[in-house]
Amino acid sequence: MAEVNTAAAPAPRKRLTAPDLQWLALTVVVLFMLATFIAPLLQVLFLGVTDDGGNFTFAPLKELFQNGSLRHVILQTAFTAAEVSLCCLIIGYPAAYYLSQLKGKMATLTGIAILFPFLTSSLVRTFVFMVILGRTGLLNSLLKALDIPGTPFKLLFNQAGVVIGMTYVLLPYMLLSLIGTMRKIDPVLLNAARSLGAGPTTIFLTVYLPLSLPGVAAGTIITTILGFGYFVTPALMGGPSETMIAQLVEQRIVVMYDMHGAAALSLIMLAIVLAVYAIAARWLGLSRMMRPHG
């Protein structure tokens, strides 16, 4: 007589549904941000408002606010970041307009060419540009061959060198922001304006330029914020009078071993960046301008 199997059948394994996977991915991202950004930021905040004994104090911040040279460096940093952002926009807008018209393989190759500099470190890119801008570098040699008066120009270890170097490093961010926005502009709108008798200048000023403003706003904010905290290029291509705030943070840590002062400086940098973003969002309608139009 056959033996009857009375053992209970194993319960079917529960599969993760699509919403479960989405929550799992969100949890991983949140935990990663907490561990790598929020927790270190809170640690910096703690260091900035405490002394060596762990006692709460505003002394590091008070010392910095009473430092006249720090105010000069902050203004110098803000002015340089604005200069670099403006240069990126002036160079990037016409270049992005042309590149956004490319189709197929040419568009793909263009995207690869723009992203290619990101495959190397900013240190290497800056050093390459130092070789180009040197007194016997490629640019000065070319200008000298063209018999330009005043050559060779001093393009390193001054404000011009810092602006040129940072513009070169940050230009891809402006290009990517502008090209992404310009490719979304519906050509039907341009054709409609043309059919109504508008000329190229009128079409650009009244249709194309307003529709491209989200890219302009995004690129300007990104390059300004990155430029405000940039360290490598000003340190290598600037002189003593072009000291930026990120270099002061490095000096506090490496030279003065003042972690509380460095943390206080970092808090000031963070507060300025957040204030600029808040002003742009409030008075320029940044969130509306950066919202993709459909």
Q: What is the pLDDT of residue 58?
A: 83
Residue 286's pLDDT is: 60
At 82 the pLDDT is 92
Counting as low any pLDDT under 50, the low residues of the chain are: 1-2, 293-294
Amino acid (one-letter) located at 77: T
Q: So what's the pLDDT on residue 1?
A: 47
What pTM was computed for the model? 0.79
Q: What is the pLDDT of residues 214-233, one digit of tens each?
A: 889 889 988 998 898 888 88
